[in-house]
């Protein structure tokens, strides 16, 4: 919660700067958290005074944010329950005191912009901003659903779908979407999305006004993905064969990421005796079941599960064919932008904004979600045609340099914040 020692001393502050508060749920591993890291690291500190607020001050990315020496303030507006609770008990998890402390903080610190980034913060943040009379209220929607389409978080909520509970279950979903729609229409000034597909998702469900939506593509620093590394040493470190090309997938191990289809495609490719190996980078709730599936498919000696890694730019150098196999809930996959920035053509499923960066037949191949046959065919095409892979890789890097670079992303954020403040 927000305590006295968390307050920021305003004495001597430069109030000519735009004071912006980024509001996020926590600092777990995910695309939104990485986007926050990129924005906080690269936004012009001479022009912006940055604060970061969260509901839970925890997660692997917390250390990285703290290293940037920006104030991080926890407002425990929703607490983690000690046991699974029923849907009817959800209101008990809400702390009105912490919410009012957020409102007070916005007023005391004279915050000019509150930018809410994930899940429930995109409801809580705009309401707090309105009560605090914050000048500019911004939210982000960075995927096609996720927390909004998922009715409850089954890690904390007891989902009883018996006939007597179904009404409560679906009523909660309806109410959550209703609040999101109301807040977007009445309280926010701008809703930022990272892909045209996310904009379409919102408009199709009438969750936001089109005039308030702005599309800002995620961006990367191209220089971070132009590395010269010892490929043999890195492959040896990971337990990979130094002589075989690598097909890789990078991301949190969750069902919606479609790793199952990636492994099924791997089995089909190896059955044709195409020389290659497969790398799964990341950790998550589905890891045990995926390792079991890999063994069942006979992939034990050709698939490496690396776990969570921080050397992603280096890994992209050794991955010859990067894959995104998601079945739902994608925005614009950061891992795909990074792979293409490394000069590698991608294979991705037609979910979210994947097709906005993989231009089919030019920078890679797009396949239907949940289709391991199509996935295997596209991967095989790149594995067996070196000239095609290299040509597409060069086109991929040019595309990222042109449309998905961090400088362009930051320019758009800076312009949007400035335009709203000057109104």
Helix (H) or strand (E) holding 227: none
What is residue 330's predicted lDDT score, i.e. its pLDDT?
A: 83
Label the pairing between strands 364-367 and 346-349: parallel
Which three-class secondary structure state does DSSP give residue 23? strand
Closest to 144 (Cα-Cα) out of 364, 350, 375, 338: 350
> Could you give the C-alpha distances from 294 to 107, 269, 300, 398, in angstroms and in order?
54, 14, 6, 35
> Which residues are within 8 A (CB) of 407 and not within 5 positions of it... i.e. 6 or more apart?
219
Closest to 111 (Cα-Cα) out of 91, 95, 132, 127: 132
The answer to whether the Cα torsion of 150, 151, 156, 161 is positive or negative is: negative
- 70: region left, alpha or beta (phi > 0 left; psi from -120 to 50 alpha): beta
DSSP 8-state code for residue 230? -
DSSP calls for 164-197 = TTHHHHHHHHHHHHHHHHHHHHHT-SEEEESSHH
Q: Are 96 and 154 in contact (CB under 8 A)?
A: no
Cα–Cα distance measured from residue 77 to residue 146, given in angstroms and rounded to the nearest whole number: 20
- Mean pLDDT, the chain, whole residue set: 88
- C-alpha of 357 from chain center: 15
Residues of the chain with pLDDT under 50: 1-12, 151-159, 161-164
> Which residues are within 8 A (CB) of 229 and not within 5 positions of it... i.e. 6 or more apart?
314, 317, 318
Radius of gyration of the chain (CA): 22
Which three-class secondary structure state does DSSP give residue 234? helix
Closest to 411 (Cα-Cα) out of 214, 179, 167, 246: 214
DSSP 8-state code for residue 85? B
**Two tokens, residue 414:** 């800076």
Q: What does the buried/exposed string (b/e) look like for 269-289 if buried means 16 or more CB atoms within 10 Å of the residue's CB? A: bbeeebebbbbbbbbeebbee
Q: How far apart are the first and last CA of the chain?
A: 33
What is residue 90's predicted lDDT score, i.e. its pLDDT?
A: 62
Cα–Cα distance measured from residue 82 to residue 98, given in angstroms and rounded to the nearest whole number: 19
All structural domains of the chain, each given as residue ranges with its CATH number in brackets, are: 4-219+406-421 (3.40.50.2000), 222-403 (3.40.50.2000)
Number of neighbouring beta carbons within 10 Å of residue 370: 16
**Tens digit of each residue's pLDDT (9 = 90 or more) over 326-357:** 998 788 999 999 999 999 999 999 999 999 99
Q: Are 74 and 57 in contact (CB under 8 A)?
A: yes
What is residue 88's predicted lDDT score, i.e. its pLDDT?
A: 56
The answer to whether the Cα torsion of 22, 191, 224, 322 is positive or negative is: positive
> Which residues are within 8 A (CB) of 176 and not within 5 positions of it... i.e. 6 or more apart?
148, 151
Q: Are 404 and 218 in contact (CB under 8 A)?
A: yes
């Amino acid at each position: 919660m927000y305590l006295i020692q968390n307050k920021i001393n305003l004495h001597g502050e430069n109030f000519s700067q735009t004071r912006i508060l980024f509001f996020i749920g926590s600092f777990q591993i995910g695309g939104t958290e990485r986007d926050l890291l990129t924005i906080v690291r690269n936004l012009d500190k001479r022009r912006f005074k940055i604060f970061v607020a969260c509901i839970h001050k925890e997660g692997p990315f917390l250390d990285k944010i703290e290293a940037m020496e920006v104030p991080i303030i926890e407002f425990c507006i929703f607490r983690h329950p000690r046991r699974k609770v029923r849907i009817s008990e959800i209101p008990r998890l809400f702390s009105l005191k912490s919410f009012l402390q957020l409102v007070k903080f916005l007023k005391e610190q004279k915050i000019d912009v509150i930018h809410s980034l994930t899940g429930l913060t995109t409801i809580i943040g705009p309401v707090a901003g309105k009560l605090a009379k914050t000048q500019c209220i911004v939210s982000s929607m960075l995927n096609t659903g996720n927390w909004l389409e998922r009715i409850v978080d089954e890690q904390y909520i007891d989902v009883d779908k018996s006939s007597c509970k179904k009404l409560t279950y679906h009523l909660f979903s309806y109410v959550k979407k209703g609040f999101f729609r109301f807040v977007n229409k009445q309280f926010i000034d701008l809703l930022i999305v990272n892909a045209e597909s996310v904009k379409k998702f919102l408009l199709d469900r009438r969750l936001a006004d089109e005039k308030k939506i702005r599309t800002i593509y995620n961006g990367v620093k191209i220089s971070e993905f132009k590395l010269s590394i010892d490929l043999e040493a890195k492959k040896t470190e990971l337990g990979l064969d130094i002589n075989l090309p690598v097909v890789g997938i990078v991301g949190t191990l969750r069902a919606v990421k479609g790793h199952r289809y990636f492994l099924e495609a791997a089995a089909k490719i190896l059955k044709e005796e195409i020389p290659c190996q497969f790398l799964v980078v990341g950790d998550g709730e589905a890891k045990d079941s995926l390792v079991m599936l890999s063994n069942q498919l006979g992939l034990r000696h050709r698939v490496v599960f690396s776990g969570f890694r921080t050397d992603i730019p280096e890994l992209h150098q050794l991955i010859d064919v990067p894959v995104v196999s998601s079945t739902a809930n994608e925005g614009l996959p950061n891992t795909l932008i990074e792979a293409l920035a490394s000069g590698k053509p991608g294979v991705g499923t037609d979910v979210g904004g994947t097709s906005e960066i993989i231009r089919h037949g030019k920078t890679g191949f797009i396949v239907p979600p949940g289709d391991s046959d199509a996935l295997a065919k596209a991967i095989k095409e790149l594995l067996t045609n070196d000239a095609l892979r290299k040509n597409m890789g060069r086109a991929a890097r040019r595309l990222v340099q042109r449309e998905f670079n961090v400088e362009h992303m930051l320019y758009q954020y800076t312009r949007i914040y400035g335009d709203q403040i000057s109104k």
